[in-house]
């Protein structure tokens, strides 16, 4: 069964889910379901001050950052593993596409515009609800 998630293809996530599912020998819906739980759990752990290291990929942590106007704040940070940085440097085509995407992301997702909520990963819950609804319909 092919899972249909709104706007997933536009962000490259659909291709990642397809490839990961094929490599793991599971269906796309199962992979999307597992990935949504993984991402939400990782984010919750880092939000509570934990550090998550994925060998060969990098480290996620919440870090104290001093900002002159607003004082000290905790921000999520990611430090890529050296091997992965080298892989990207050697394999990725030379392009400003990533720079443009991240610049647009930064302007749209400025922390000043965010309200504190109890569940910042509502999208993950919506992905799982979509998968369950489609599985029930088949």
Q: Is residue 97 assigned to a domain?
A: yes
Q: Is residue 1 assigned to a domain?
A: no
Q: Is residue 70 assigned to a domain?
A: no
d(CA 36, CA 16): 13
- 53-67, 79-93, 123-137: segment of lowest average pLDDT: 123-137
For residue 113, is pLDDT > 70?
A: no
Average the pLDDT over 15-24 and give the result.
89
Q: Is residue 18 assigned to a domain?
A: yes
Give me the number of domains the chain comprises: 1
Q: Is residue 133 assigned to a domain?
A: yes
Read off the DSSP letter of residue 117: -
Average the pLDDT over 42-55 and give the result.
90
d(CA 25, CA 96): 34
Give the pLDDT confidence score for residue 85 in this predicted structure.
Answer: 86
Q: Is residue 3 assigned to a domain?
A: no
pTM above 0.85, yes or no: no
Pinpoint the alpha helices (H) of the chain: 13-24, 28-47, 82-91, 97-108, 122-137
For residue 116, is pLDDT > 50?
A: no
Q: Is residue 93 assigned to a domain?
A: yes
| Burial letters 6-45, b for 16+ CB under 10 A, else e | eebeeeeebeebbeebeeeeebbbbbbbebbeeebeebee
Q: Is residue 65 assigned to a domain?
A: no
Give the pLDDT confidence score for residue 24 in this predicted structure.
Answer: 92
Range of the domain at 118: 9-55+82-137
């Amino acid at each position: 069964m092919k899972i249909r998630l709104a706007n997933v293809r536009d962000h490259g996530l659909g291709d990642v889910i397809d490839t990961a599912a094929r490599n793991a020998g599971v269906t796309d819906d199962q992979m999307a379901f597992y990935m949504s739980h993984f991402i939400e759990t990782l984010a919750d752990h880092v939000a509570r001050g934990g550090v998550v290291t994925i060998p060969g990929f990098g480290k996620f942590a919440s870090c104290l950052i001093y900002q002159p106007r607003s004082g000290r704040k905790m921000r999520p940070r990611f430090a890529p593993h050296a091997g992965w940085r080298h892989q990207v440097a050697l394999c990725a085509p030379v392009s400003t596409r990533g720079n443009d995407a991240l610049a647009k992301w930064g302007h749209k997702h400025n922390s000043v515009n965010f309200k504190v909520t109890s569940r910042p990963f509502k999208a993950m819950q919506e992905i799982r609800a979509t998968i369950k609804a489609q599985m029930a319909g088949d």
